[in-house]
A = this chain, B = another copy of it.
Amino acid sequence: MNGATALLQTLLACDLDVCFTNPGTSEMHFVAALDAVPGMRALLGLSEGVVTGAADGYGRMADRPAATLLHLGPGLGNGIANLHNARRARTPVVNIVGDHATHHARYDAPLQSDIEGLARNVSGWYLESRTVTDVARDAAQAVAAAQAAPGQVATLVLPADVCWDEGAEPAGPLPRQHRATVATDAVEQVAKALRSGEPAAIFVGGSALRAEGLRAASAVSRATGAKLLAETFPARLERGAGLPAVERLAYLAEFAEMQLSGLRHLVLVDTRSPVSFFAYPGRSSDLVPAGCEVHVLCTGGDDVPQALQHLLDLVGGGEPALQQALRPERPTGALTGETVAAALGALLPEGAIVSDESNTTGLWLAGATAGAPAHDWLTLTGGAIGQGMPLATGAAVACPDRPVLSIEADGSAMYTLQALWTQAREGLDVTTVILNNRSYAVLNMELQRVGAETTGSRAAELFDLSRPDLDFVSLAQGMGVPASRATTAEELTAQLERALAEPGPHLVEAVVPPI
């Protein structure tokens, strides 16, 4: 068989059966093999930002990788930003980049570029398949690498001739690595710090944000009086009624410093020591207060729930503090960040997956949805905007029986709006709420925070999205997604309710004031 056929058979044998793609000529044998090898679901994205963001959303929700299939360096380039987010989320992704045939490279044809230079930027693992006899084994390695705890982007470069040459054999999956058990010493040291009576916080991220880890962390917090804090931008946070409530570290360094103020011990649980998102003149980048000792309980390669349970045993056991069921009233009156949040809190369905790229307008979302039925919350992990709608798309593919809410700021939406088309084609049950404040509101704020002074309107022009206004209803309808516009809280609630009740994608544009 040819390389492409063996590659697809290998991916399927490794339990990888979803591929997001925008292919080109160099990927045609892979594409043709989709007809020869049943079982691989291939989904088209109209730009590679959709493709890579969807693979991230799929991986976060499925806990196993999807593949991408991208077209040479430029296709990879278009997908870099959302692969950057996937890297920060530590999502398992098998990122396949088609390349020219090996013998064609020396001619420097127009699409030739340094694929490796691009791929290394976002990939924890990188390999270029060199011959048809290697490709199946290379693919099995890529899947294993993507799944190596805690998860990463594994890039496999696939020259066209490696796909079209004959002589390949499929390979089987490589053995899964087990997560490491954290040494007793390390856990005991953390237990000692938490029992010291000094102000302490448990700072949880990664896999500690799933129910099992959160329950143990919450119980430790109750047993020791240590504060429980989650990382600012979780890849996936399980939350809602019946789960432990956890406060997230604030995005703004000045608020984060308040949350961390006075601590003598900070325990890291599958996350990194907190740093400021950006640098600001005269402010520290390191958010750990002076005199606070940082302890590492466990990292992403470890068995995180086990480490937390061990810690809980050492501090005397106990029960977690669970969030009660509690929804806000349906809001009325003007649409604002608060009433949008209340509407979402009032209506969030059981088992929802929320892709949150709400940015400034989303300030009230966490509070308004804290007591909604249990759900998953996915955030912008790497700061590269344009993640939310592709992420929602991939999450919906991974979890076809769960409703997906894509809460999306207008400026970020325009980066990868093409995701709507894939949602329409695949009939995905995604309800997109566009928070249209007609500006890059975050930049108005950041301009002042960095201490930049303006005396005129040229800077303000670059944050203004109101000339002309973006009409997201037209834009969505242009890609086959039913859409409506809400200008009051009552309209938003009614439109959201209808969108959530009907299967398939919908978009509601919520016109909100600038922050």
CB under 8 Å from chain B, chain A span 102-124: 103-104, 107-111, 113-114, 117-118, 120-122
B contact residues around A275 at 8 Å (CB): 107-109
Collect the chain B residues with CB atoms within 8 Å of residue A49's CB: 78
A110 and B277 contact, CB distance less than 8 A: yes
Complex CA distance for A177 and B26, rounded to whole angstroms? 40
A411 neighbours in B (Cβ, 8 Å): 46
Question: Are A285 and B474 touching (Cβ within 8 A)?
Answer: no
The CA-CA distance from A42 to B459 in the complex, in Å, is: 9
A250 to chain B, nearest CB (A): 14
- In the docked arrangement, what's the CA distance between A471 and B471, Å? 14
What B residues does A286 contact at CB under 8 A? 107
Q: For A468, give the chain B residue with the smallest CB separation.
A: B480
A458 and chain B: residue at smallest CB distance: B34
Kindly report which residue of chain B lies nearest to residue A481, judged by CB atoms.
Answer: B468
**Residues of A within 8 Å of B, CB-based: how many?**
100
- Determine, out of A258-266, A318-326, A448-456, the stretch whose residues face the partner at the interface: A448-456
**In the complex the two chains form, is A285's CB within 8 Å of B74's CB?**
no
Instruction: Please give, as numbers and ranges, the residues of chain B lying within 8 Å of A363 by CB-CB distance.
Output: none
Known: A32-B454, A447-B32, A480-B468. A109 touches B276 (CB 8 A): yes
The reply on A316 being an interface residue by CB < 8 A is no
Closest B residue, CB atoms, query A475 = B478
Instruction: Tell whether, in the assembled complex, residue B461 and residue A118 are in contact, meaning their CB atoms are under 8 Å apart.
Output: no
- A268 shortest CB reach to chain B, Å: 14
The answer to whether B470 and A478 have CB atoms under 8 Å apart is: yes
B113 touches A84 (CB 8 A): yes
| Separation of A374 and B479 alpha carbons in the complex (Å) | 37
Contact partner, A118, options B109, B117, B160, Cβ 8 Å: B117
Query: When chains A and B are docked, how far (Å) is the Cα of A84 from the Cα of B414?
Result: 22
Task: Report A285-306 residues with CB < 8 Å from chain B CB.
Answer: 285-286
A164: Cβ under 8 A from any B Cβ: yes
Q: Does A161 touch B at the CB level, under 8 Å?
A: yes
Contacts A/B (CB < 8 Å), 9 sampled = A31-B443, A35-B457, A47-B414, A74-B383, A109-B275, A110-B277, A424-B468, A474-B477, A475-B478
